[in-house]
Structure 1
Amino acid sequence: MSEKIGSSASSAQKNILLLIADDLGKNLGCYGAEVTTPNIDAFASEGVLFSHAFTSTASCSNSRSVIYTGLHTHQSGQYGLAGKAHHFVIFDNIKTSPAFFREQGYMTGLIGKVHVGPDYSYPWHIRNESTTRDVAWVADQAGDFFATAKTSKQPFFLTVGYIDPHRDMTRSRFGNEDVFDTRIKDIPYESSNVKVPNYINNIDESRFEFSEYYRSISRLDQGIGMMLEKLKALGLADDTLVIFLSDNGPPFLNSKTTLYDAGIQLPFIVRNPKAATKGIKNPNMVSYVDIFPTFLEWTGKTQNAPKGLAGQSIFPILERSELVPEDEWKHHIFGSHTFHEVTNYWPTRVLRTRRYKYHRNVAWRLDFPFSADLYGSLTWDGIRHSQPQGKERDIMVGGRKLKDYIFRSPEELYDLDSDPLELVNLANDEKWKETLMALRSQLEKWQDETLDPWLYRDGVSKRFIQHHLDAGMIVPDTFDLDLDNIRIR
Structure 2
Amino acid sequence: MATNFIFILADDLGYADLGCTGARDAQGKAANTSPRLDRMAAEGMRFTQGYSNSSVCSPTRFALITGRWQYRLRGGAEEPLSGPAGGDKVHGLPPTHPTLPSLLHEAGYATALVGKWHLGPAPDFGPLKSGYGEFFGYHSGGIDYFSHRNPRGKHDLWQGDDPVHREGYLTDVLSDAAVDFVNRQNADKGFLLSLHYSAPHWPWLTRDDATLSPQLAPGLKHTDGGSLVTYQRMIHHMDEGIGRVLDALEAKGLADDTLVVFTSDNGGERFSNNWPFVGEKMDLLEGGIRVPLIARWPRGMRSGSVCTTPNLTMDWTATMLALAGVGEAPDYPLDGISLLPAFKDPLWNPSRDLAWRMTHRQQRALRRGDWKYLAMDGHEYLFNLAEDERERANRAEREPGRMVELREAWRLWNEHLPSIPGDAQVHLAFDESVLPKSTH
Q: What TM-score results when the alignment is normalised by the length of structure 2? A: 0.73
Whether 1:348 aligns to 2:363 is: yes
1:94 to partner: Cα distance: 3.0
- Check whether the contact 2:99–2:131 (CA below 8 A) recurs between aligned residues: no
Provide the residue aligned with 2:47 in structure 1: 50
Partner of residue 150 from structure 1, selected from 175, 186, 201: 186
Partner of residue 443 from structure 1, selected from 377, 392, 410: 410
**Deviation string for 1:344-382 (max 9, x for gaps)?**
x55533112343221245xxxxxxxxxxxxxxxxxxxxx
Structure 2: segments with no counterpart, 5+ residues: 24-29, 146-168, 212-222, 271-277, 423-440
- Check whether the contact 2:137–2:174 (CA below 8 A) recurs between aligned residues: no
Within-5 A mapping of 1:16-35: 16-26=5-15, 27-33=17-23, 34-35=30-31
Measure, in 1, the Cα distance between the counterparts of 2:385 and 2:265: 23
1:91 to partner: Cα distance: 5.1
Partner of residue 229 from structure 1, selected from 240, 247, 270: 247
Within-5 A mapping of 1:75-474: 75-77=72-74, 78-81=76-79, 87-90=90-93, 94-117=97-120, 118-119=125-126, 121-130=129-138, 131=143, 132=145, 133-150=169-186, 153-168=188-203, 173-175=204-206, 177-179=208-210, 209-252=227-270, 254-275=279-300, 277-302=302-327, 304=329, 307-321=332-346, 323-324=347-348, 329-330=350-351, 332-338=353-359, 345-346=360-361, 348-361=363-376, 408-427=377-396, 429=397, 431-448=398-415, 450-453=416-419
**Deviation string for 1:39-68 (max 9, x for gaps)?**
000011111110001012111111111111
| AA matched with 1:294 | T
| AA matched with 1:66 | A
| AA matched with 1:56 | N
Measure, in 2, the Cα distance between the counterparts of 1:92 and 1:349: 30
- Check whether the contact 1:72–1:335 (CA below 8 A) recurs between aligned residues: no
Measure, in 2, the Cα distance between the counterparts of 1:206 and 1:437: 44
| AA matched with 1:160 | L
- Number of positions where the alignment pairs a residue of Structure 1 with one of Structure 2: 357
Measure, in 2, the Cα distance between the counterparts of 1:454 and 1:143: 40
**Deviation string for 1:60-106 (max 9, x for gaps)?**
11111111111122123311236678744245653211222222222
1:275 to partner: Cα distance: 1.9
Cα 1:176–1:276 change in 2 (3 A) is closer
- Check whether the contact 2:48–2:307 (CA below 8 A) recurs between aligned residues: yes
Cα 1:81–1:353 change in 2 (3 A) is same
Q: Where is the helix percentage greater, Structure 1 or Structure 2?
A: 1
Measure, in 1, the Cα distance between the counterparts of 2:49 and 2:225: 26
Measure, in 1, the Cα distance between the counterparts of 2:257 and 2:330: 22
- Check whether the contact 1:39–1:221 (CA below 8 A) recurs between aligned residues: yes
- Check whether the contact 1:164–1:217 (CA below 8 A) recurs between aligned residues: yes
Measure, in 2, the Cα distance between the counterparts of 1:304 and 1:116: 20
Q: What TM-score results when the alignment is normalised by the length of structure 1? A: 0.66
**Deviation string for 1:202-256 (max 9, x for gaps)?**
xxx9997333222211111111111111121122212211111110111239200
SS of the residue corresponding to residue 364 of structure 2 reads strand
Measure, in 2, the Cα distance between the counterparts of 1:49 and 1:265: 13
Provide the residue aligned with 1:403 in structure 2: none
SS of the residue corresponding to residue 114 of structure 2 reads strand
1:426 to partner: Cα distance: 4.6
- Check whether the contact 1:56–1:336 (CA below 8 A) recurs between aligned residues: no
Q: Answer with 1 or 2: which has the greater Rg.
A: 1
1:332 to partner: Cα distance: 4.2
Measure, in 2, the Cα distance between the counterparts of 1:88 and 1:255: 26
Measure, in 2, the Cα distance between the counterparts of 1:140 and 1:282: 31
**Overall identity of the aligned pairs, in %:** 29
- Check whether the contact 1:73–1:337 (CA below 8 A) recurs between aligned residues: no
SS of the residue corresponding to residue 266 of structure 1 reads coil
